[in-house]
Chain A
Amino acid sequence: MVLLISVFAGFLGSLLGLGGGLIVVPVLSLGLGVDIRYAIAASLISIIATSSGAAASFLRDHLTNLRVAVILELGTVSGAIIGFLLSTYLNPKYLYLMFGGFLFFSALMMMKKKKNVINENEHPWAKKLNLSSSYLDPKAGLINYKVANVPLGLIAMFFAGILSAVLGIGSGIFKVLAMDNAMKIPMKVSSATSNFMIGVTASASAGAYLIRGDIRPEIACPVSLGIICGSFIGAKVLPKISAELVRKIFVVILGIVAYQMISKGIRG
């Protein structure tokens, strides 16, 4: 059952550009009664699997900005370390509340229309490190873009890293939002670069969770296998189905699950 649900999570994650943690953690904790701390640890494994698969495709398509990714990974990895240390002291009921809140936030963000505005201002750090780049759009041709506000992006990534380690998510939505709004990186590049980074963020805490014994093969194995299969199927099916329709259905599901997670957190 977990294998099938994970295939579905990987499939949806691949269609919607998510790591799968938003689906895996509620299914394991609410649906199958697994303690949320084991669910979070298993979810991090699934994120690494999805991210590595997606990163390979995005790198091949030259959408990922490798330079921006390396700089921002410094923020996410240090945030993930702090997040792992925080998770040791957090009561599970707060994990449910935080997860529910993040699901609501994700649903809201997924409803927002995505704009692709090209920025003309380049931050001095971006200039020094040659972060600005270009990508090939099938319709618009070669698009050059400049990277703004690198320090704000780094701070946002630090908090994204904390969220990732505490909740077992890739926090891709948060990362894309920061790159898009603060650093003015085009949406396609932000999504690809975020997908590239979430695996590194997840492994920063997954290694520690594994050594601590929270990653149990009985849970993590079917989850990661399912996610790997699902994301491969999703990548094949993606051009043939309407991702917009899937997105709308998923927003409703996220809202319902968010309500259930928060209710469980309040009940304790």
Chain B
Amino acid sequence: MDKVEDLELKISKFLRAGILVAGFFILAGWLVRFKWSENPFLRFQHYERTSFFDMAEIHFMSEDWAFFLSYSGLFILISLPIIRVMLTGILFFKQKEKILGSVAFAVLFFLLLSFGLGFEI
């Protein structure tokens, strides 16, 4: 098995493990917060912009840790492709393919930048 195949396999295993970890956090948070008696979607029929940090502050004050459990799972899930791009970039630099490595890190830069766009604009 050459280096590329070896790293592809490692990335593949990483993605699978990442999904399971994210799934565990999401499931745990969802089960703790779930209420059978109410329709959770009624609150979302009209759009209301409340930033993640505003929600986090409210849930922190009310010690609703399940909220943070759910969001941890969602953050892990969103981070998986980002970490995958970083690993790909490292792979290309290890193979002395500077152009492809630089492109991968440019993609990584844009991905990290995109998080910043979520702040009030």
Tell me if B75 is interfacial: C-beta within 8 Å of chain A: yes
Q: Which residue of A lies closest to B25 (CB)?
A: A221
**Number of B interface residues, CB 8 Å?**
67
Chain A residues touching B, range: 35 or more
Cβ B121 vs Cβ A88 within 8 A: yes
Cβ B40 vs Cβ A45 within 8 A: no
Chain A hits for B22, CB < 8 A: 49, 224
Tell me if B119 is interfacial: C-beta within 8 Å of chain A: yes
Residue in contact with B117 in the complex, picked from A59, A70, A84, A224, CB distance below 8 Å: A84
Chain B hits for A222, CB < 8 A: 30
Chain A hits for B117, CB < 8 A: 81, 84-85, 208, 211
Contact with A along B79-117 (1 / 0, CB 8 A): 111101100110110000101100110110011011111
Cβ A218 vs Cβ B54 within 8 A: no
Tell me if A215 is interfacial: C-beta within 8 Å of chain B: yes
Chain A interface, DSSP helix/strand/loop, else mixed: helix
Least distance between A78 CB and chain B CB atoms (Å)? 6
- A-B Cβ contacts below 8 A, count: 201
Residue in contact with A35 in the complex, picked from B11, B13, B47, B99, CB distance below 8 Å: B47
Give the docked Cα–Cα distance between A38 and B121 (Å): 18
- Given known A-B contacts A45-B74, A49-B19, A74-B107, A216 and B44 have beta carbons under 8 A apart: yes
Residue in contact with B78 in the complex, picked from A28, A48, A71, CB distance below 8 Å: A48
Q: Which residue of A lies closest to B118 (CB)?
A: A211
Chain A hits for B54, CB < 8 A: 213
Q: Which residue of B lies closest to A32 (CB)?
A: B41
Least distance between A206 CB and chain B CB atoms (Å)? 5
Cβ A224 vs Cβ B84 within 8 A: no
Give the docked Cα–Cα distance between A66 and B73 (Å): 27
Give the docked Cα–Cα distance between A38 and B44 (Å): 7
Give the docked Cα–Cα distance between A126 and B22 (Å): 36
Least distance between A92 CB and chain B CB atoms (Å)? 8
Chain B hits for A248, CB < 8 A: none
Offer 6 A-B interface pairs, CB within 8 angstroms, sorted by A: A28-B41, A52-B15, A66-B4, A204-B114, A220-B74, A224-B26
Tell me if A34 is interfacial: C-beta within 8 Å of chain B: yes
Cβ A70 vs Cβ B104 within 8 A: yes
Least distance between A105 CB and chain B CB atoms (Å)? 25
Residue in contact with B9 in the complex, picked from A37, A59, A69, A70, CB distance below 8 Å: A59
Contact with B along A209-250 (1 / 0, CB 8 A): 111111111111110110010000000000000000000000
